[in-house]
Amino acid sequence: MDTFLKIIGVIVLIIVVSPIILVGEESIRLQNNKEAMPLIVLSTERKVLDGYSEEDDVIEVENIANSIGFSLHVRVKEEKESSDNYVGTIIGKEFWLFNSILIWGYIE
């Protein structure tokens, strides 16, 4: 019985600690590397911010990459290069835990 409880304890510890390590490692990696995206991306979303239209020469866009338990919001300033091509510059990033708790963010 004693070894059974130890085995269950180790399994529970692995289940609890693994996601914490994954989110912590991803947060540090994404914060230190400006161009990085999450290793596991479940869905992506692109929003043109208020006050801008797709027809403008310069627009600000928020790209959202949803992952396991967190999301990365990347603000990009896009300048029109030709009729259908934009060149983007990252102007901000936010790391959200469970889409409700802001862990870190910056805007240039």
- pLDDT tens string 18-53: 989 989 999 999 999 988 999 999 999 999 888 777
Label residue 71 by pLDDT band (50, 70, 90). Answer: very high
CA distance 72 to 67: 8
- pLDDT of residue 85 exceeding 80, the answer is no
Residues in the chain: 108
Residue 15: exposure state from Cβ atoms within 10 A (0-12, 13-18, ≥19): exposed
CA distance 53 to 59: 7
Label residue 104 by pLDDT band (50, 70, 90). Answer: very high
pTM, whole model, 2 decimals?
A: 0.79
Q: What is the pLDDT of residue 102?
A: 94
Alpha helices in 1-108 (DSSP H): 2-32
